[in-house]
Each structure stands twice: as structure tokens, then as C-alpha cells.
Structure 1
Amino acid sequence: MRTTTVTIATLALGVFGIITTEMGIVGVLPQVADRLHVGTSTAGLLVGAFALVIAVSGPFMTLFASRIDRRTVLASAILLFAVSNAVYALTTRFDVMLAFRILPAVVHPVFFSVALTTAARLVPAADATRATTRVFAGVTAGFALGVPLTAYLAEHPSLEAAFWFGAVINLIAFLGILRFLPTMPVERRLSYGAQVGVLRGGRMWLSILSVVFVFAAMFSVYGYFAEFLDEVTGMDGSWVGALLMVFGLVMILGNFAFGALLRRDPIRTALAFPALCLAVYVLLYAVGPHTAPMLVAIPIWGAVHSGGLIVGQYWLGRDARDAPEFGNSLFISFSNLGITAGTTIGGWLLSVTGPRQLAWLGAGFALAALACMTLRLSLDRVRPGAAAQLPV
């Protein structure tokens, strides 16, 4: 049991390292632009290209890797992240850095999907959700600690140190996977057709659409966290940095709380998530211009926001139980599509109306998610057969 706990913690560390690599660059983009001698908008391709490659390549790469030993897949993917961070620290060429943003993005969804499935396989079926919750804790820790630490190290002592930090974290995870994870050959080899077959039928596509709307709801507002606090609440940069840390730390606790709620009552918890998002965004709109109420609202926002990952993975996983890794890759791809849609539409609305109205955009996406989830459940009542058990 202790070895299993350490193995799951190692997988969570790998997820932490991946999120730090993916999102940490957001906080150091101006320094990266200066180092590479390009404009900030050009440097922004390092962020956008990463997300786009994840969204496009995820299911295909997971299919490709579906017949390879699980430890080999996980170790190879995380090693590529370690190498890429080392390249970021050493290169001064934009084309080289862009190439080493694209390469790890290709294996990003593979690591996630295999890590989640592997964590569930390592424990009894009743503990599968608890195991995946612990892996997801690496995501929230990445936002809470990895991203701020990257920004801090870029200033004290240097941008290179920030990237070496990412390289070391991913290297430790690589060594941990080799040390603690046993060889895991694929015992039941699903054909590519059988895996892609989960996409047949309206139930899966309603679940996919639900995930897209859930993540659009989350990131259409969170993506402009700093602008909201600056322009609506009137907080300066030091306040924004501190509250980002608070938001992330609350997310860690909220992640485990939502995991516990899913184990007790998965359907009601899943349906409650978009409803809670809607309530939070109404609250943000109401108290946005007032500092003291916002200091109370932000931890509430963080606690609700934290549930999107595990709720989304559960919801889509219900319809992908016959091909869980492929289902997890669909979750990673379409959640990234939701993030892209939410931040893109949010950016447009921000330029037209200002940041306060973003709360209504997030509320609209949350309502759309709730409608899709309710319609998805109605199909179970019409044509029973989709069990409400947690995916593994």
C-alpha cells in the first residue's frame, strides 16, 4: 500500500511538472520575449501553439501509444518535458523554443490520460476516484505553486533558473516512475476501431459538449483574473499576485472536497458544479467593485473552480468506460478546446465591454453546460444503460 501511495504521488508530481511547464511560461512571457528578441505577441505563440497541439493531437497520440507498456509511455513523455525545459534554459532562438514547446505538447495528453488510468488501476475499484483525485492535485498544485514559483525564479535569480526548476521537477518524476512504477504491459489490447467506437452515439457527444462548456465557463473569467482585479476592483499587482496564490491554494483543498463529493453522489455533484459556477459569477459581478467583499469572494471562487477538472473527467468518462485511456485523452483535448474558446471569446468581450461583463459570459457558458448535462441524463431515462458509476 505504501508503494502504491508513493507511485500515485510520483504521477501527481509528473502532472505538477507538466502544468508548470505548460502554464509557467505565461508569467514570464515578457522576459522570454526579451531573451529571444521577439515581440510579446510573437512570444505568445509559445502559449497558443502548446494548447492547440494538445487539442488536436491528444486522441490520436493516445491511440498510437495504447499498445505500449504504460511505464514506458509515462517515462518517455515526462523525460521529454525535462529535456524541453533544459532547452528553454539554454536557447536564445525563438524557432528552437517553439519546436520544444510543440514536442512536449504532443505527449502532454498521453501522459495525463495514462497517468489517470494507471492510478485507478493501482488501487481497488472503490478507491479509483480517490486515486485520480490525488493525481489531479498535481494540476492544482501546479497552478498554486508551480506558476508563481516560475515567475519568482525568473526574477530571483534568472529566467534560466526558472526553466531549470521545471527541468529538475520533471526529471525527478521520470526517475520516480522508473523506480516505483512496475512494468505494465497492455493486457487487453483494444483495436483502434473499438476505442474510436466510443464516439458513436449522441450520449458521448453531449458529454463532450458539456466538458467544452464547463471549461469555457471556467477560463472565460479566470483567464482574465488580473484584469478583473485591476480594472474592476482596483487592486495593484502585489494584491493580484497574493490572491492568485490564495486562489491556487484553495483549489488544492477544493479538489479533494469535490473528489469526496463525487464518491458519495456523483451525478448530483456533477450537476451542482455548473450551477455553483453560475452562482459564483453572479457574486463576482455584484461585489467586483468592492475590495473587502472580493477578498471573501475569491476563495469561494477558487473552491468552486477546482471542481472542474475532476467533474469533467468523471462526466466524460461515464461514456468512455470501454476505452478509458482514449476517453481521458478526449477529456484533455476537449477541455483545452473549451479553454481556447472561453479565453478567445472572453478576450473579445473584454476589449468591447470591459472585464466586469466577463462574469455574465462565464455564467452563460455555465448555463449551457448545465443544459447539456441535463439533456445527457434525460437520454439515460429514455434509453437506460449508461451506469452512474465512476470511471476507472
Structure 2
Amino acid sequence: MVNRNSLLIFILTVGVFGILNTEMGVIGILPDIAEHFNVSISKAGWLVSFFALAVALSGPTLPLLFSGINRKNVMLLVLCVFLVGNIVSIYTSNFNVLLIARGIQGLFHPIYCSLAFSVAAASVSREGAPKAVSRVFIGVSAGMVVGVPVVSFITSVTFLQTGMSFFAAVNALVLIATWLYVPSMPVNEKLHYGSQLKVLKKSITWFSVVAVILLNASVIGVYSYLAEYLKTVTNMSPNIISLTLFIYGGANIIGNIVAGRLLTQRAMKSVASFPFVLGAVYIILFFTGQFTVPMAIVTFIWGILAGVGANINQYLLSTAAPEAPDFANGLFLSSCNIGATFGAAMGGLFITEMGIQYVVMAGILSLVLSVAAIFLRNYKHVPAQQLSR
């Protein structure tokens, strides 16, 4: 049973990697896409923003609509959609077709990811759920930070279509593994849509949504401009910047492992202290950002905290609405994407008004606001005996 659960979680982890890799992997090849389709780099950027918008729109709805269907069948459907979309992306010569294919993939993205979190949590005991979910989050982190350089490297030594084939290859392997090794998972107790939507009447749900938006904004609002910060403020060479970004990505994966233990043993304390710890790191970053070695060390610590923060975000919403896990995970994905959009915009505003070195203020401001949301969420709704955990 343990081996079966481990295999299931591994397949889910790789599956989430394939989904996130499809979403984020194009970032490293946007110049190649712009050249291939003869469009501007800003227009090529629509491939990222349009995908994220589709995720934000479908997050609260499609996971809810598919919540009563056999979970294996739903995962197979989503993986087929992604594989077909990948194949279309490889062979189309029309940018608008590529954009539409990406938009359709974005709509189905929350279905698989919300299921992955729910299935992983349900495969173990209630106490072990945070650790199981944290393992799936390794796929999220890897898809966001490992897929970009991998696809970029493949494209640089071969062709654009070869690089984009990496998306299809990963999704095809997961599709086969899901078909062969994931057991049928019928929904024995189908939750009515109305009963799941009732979680929106609870104030804890909305405090959790606001907290997730602000916490994700605090990370993405600074991370989005990290490469430019390292170039302008730290004066790093392109190769050292790439290495530093890789350090951040590796640390992010470590953070997922750490988060599993923290949320299993000291959940409430971890949630409450997170904004203060990340805020302290941002303050140190602000004062040491011009020095290469301290900046690399801070980036490593920051990457670990970012991995922990992603798990905290999922924990906040999954525990706020445990009676509707798929819907809660859909809300989590939408909230994260809204937070990413809000954070990137706020970071850009600070850069425009004050300069790149002040981008950390966007993160600190988001963290300050998140403290209020977390306080209202935890200390107004969580039973007193849980606060000591």
C-alpha cells in the first residue's frame, strides 16, 4: 500500500511538473517564438499572460464542475488536452492558433493541479496530508524553475520545435503512466455544487483568499524582476545571473520538503511567522543587494522560503474549506495567479517610481497587508487548541 501510494504521488508530481512546465517553459524561448512567428517580444509575451488569465478564470469553476467524475478519467482527459495542445504548438505556423491552444490548456490547468493536491492528500492519513501535498509541490517548483532553462537549452542547441517537443514528451509519459498505473478513482460521495459553493459564505474562506493573493504577490512581485535586479544592482554577469537563478530554483524545491514537515508539526506557528521571516530576508536583501556573495546567500534562503510559502498558500485554503477540497484547490490556483499579476504590477510600479533597487518594497508591503489577513483568518476562526501547533 505504501509503495502504491508513493508511485501515485510520484506520477502526480511529474504530472504537475508537465503542466507547469507547459505554462512557464515558454518564458525561456519567447525570443525564439517571436522570431519564428514574426511577432514582437511583447506580443509573444501574451503566451504567458493569456495562459495565466485562463487559469485565474477557470480555477474556481472547472474543478468544481469535474468534481463528481472519476478522478483518473478526469486526469487522463486533461493530459490528453495538454498533449494535443503541445502537438498543435509544435506544428502550427499561425501565432493566433498557438495562442488559442495555450488558452485552452490554461483553462484545464486548474483541473489537474487541484486533483493532484486532493488525491495526494486523500492517499495518506489526515496528519500526513501536508507532507504528501508538499511532494506534489516539488513538481510545481520544478515546472516553474527547472523547465525554463531546460527548454531554453534544448532550443539553443537544436530548433524551436525540438524545445517545444519537451512539453509534449513529459505530458505523453505522464499520460501513459496514469493510464497504466493509476487506479480507478470513482467519487463515492459526490458533493453537490451548491454544497461546495457554500464555502464562499464563510469568512474564513475569503480571509484565506486575500492572504494567498498577498503572500503570492509578496514573492512574485520581487522574483519577477530578480534577473534585472541582479544585473543592475548586483552587477552580475549573465552566467552568474543564470547560476543564481538556478540556486533560487533548487532552494525552492528544498523549501517544499521543509514545508511538509513544518505544516505537519507546527502549522499555525509556521503560517503566522512566515511574513515576518520573509520580510526580514527582504530587508537584508535591500541592504546587501550590491554584493555578489551575500546576494547569492540571501537568494538561497529566499528560494527556500518561497517554496515554504507556496505550500502555506495551499494549506490556508484547503483547511479553510476541507468539505470541498477540489473547489478549495481551484480557489487556491486562482488566488495565486491573481496574486502573481498583482505582485508583478506593484513591483513594476515601485521600479518606475523609485528604481529597481526598491522592488523589494512591493514584497514588504504585500507581507504587511498579509499579516492582517492571516490574523483575521487564524485567530478569529481556528480553535484555540490548534494555535499552539
Shorter-normalised TM-score: what interval? over 0.9
Contact 1:318-1:387 at 8 Å conserved across structures? no
Matched with 1:93 is 94
| Counterpart Cα distance in 2 of 1:64 and 1:389 | 37
Matched with 1:39 is 40
Matched with 1:112 is 113
Q: CA deviation at 1:292?
A: 2.1
Contact 2:348-2:359 at 8 Å conserved across structures? no
| Counterpart Cα distance in 2 of 1:51 and 1:74 | 20
Contact 1:119-1:132 at 8 Å conserved across structures? yes
Are 1:151 and 2:140 an aligned pair? Answer: no
1:233-263 deviations in whole A, cap 9, x for unaligned? 1112111111111111111111101110111
Structure 2 unmatched ranges of 5 or more: none
Matched with 1:124 is 125
Q: What is the 5 A alignment of 1:5-84?
A: 5-84=6-85
Matched with 2:194 is 193
| Counterpart Cα distance in 1 of 2:385 and 2:231 | 46
Contact 1:318-1:386 at 8 Å conserved across structures? no
Q: CA deviation at 1:387?
A: 6.5
Contact 2:21-2:148 at 8 Å conserved across structures? yes
SS in structure 1 at match of 2:236: coil
Q: What is the 5 A alignment of 1:337-352?
A: 337-352=338-353
Q: CA deviation at 1:165?
A: 0.8
TM-score of the superposed pair, with normalisation by structure 1: 0.96
| Counterpart Cα distance in 1 of 2:126 and 2:292 | 46
Q: What is the 5 A alignment of 1:234-249?
A: 234-249=235-250
Segments ≥4 residues shifted beyond 6 Å? 385-390
2:153 partner amino acid:
Y
Matched with 1:360 is 361
> Across the two proteins, how many residue pairs are aligned to each other?
388
SS in structure 1 at match of 2:189: coil
The percent identity for this pair of structures is 34
Structure 1 unmatched ranges of 5 or more: none
Matched with 2:207 is 206
The answer to which of 327-336 and 198-207 deviates more is 198-207
Contact 2:51-2:106 at 8 Å conserved across structures? yes
The answer to which of 202-211 and 120-129 deviates more is 120-129
SS in structure 2 at match of 1:318: helix
Matched with 1:296 is 297
Matched with 2:326 is 325
SS in structure 1 at match of 2:370: helix
Contact 2:269-2:387 at 8 Å conserved across structures? no
Q: CA RMSD of the aligned region, Å?
A: 1.7
1:327 partner amino acid:
A
Matched with 1:283 is 284
| Counterpart Cα distance in 2 of 1:299 and 1:215 | 18
| Counterpart Cα distance in 1 of 2:387 and 2:193 | 26
Matched with 1:266 is 267
Q: What is the 5 A alignment of 1:128-139?
A: 128-139=129-140
Matched with 1:376 is 377
2:263 partner amino acid:
L
1:175-233 deviations in whole A, cap 9, x for unaligned? 11111111111111111111110010322111110000000001000011101101111
| Counterpart Cα distance in 2 of 1:317 and 1:386 | 19
SS in structure 1 at match of 2:328: helix
TM-score of the superposed pair, with normalisation by structure 2: 0.96
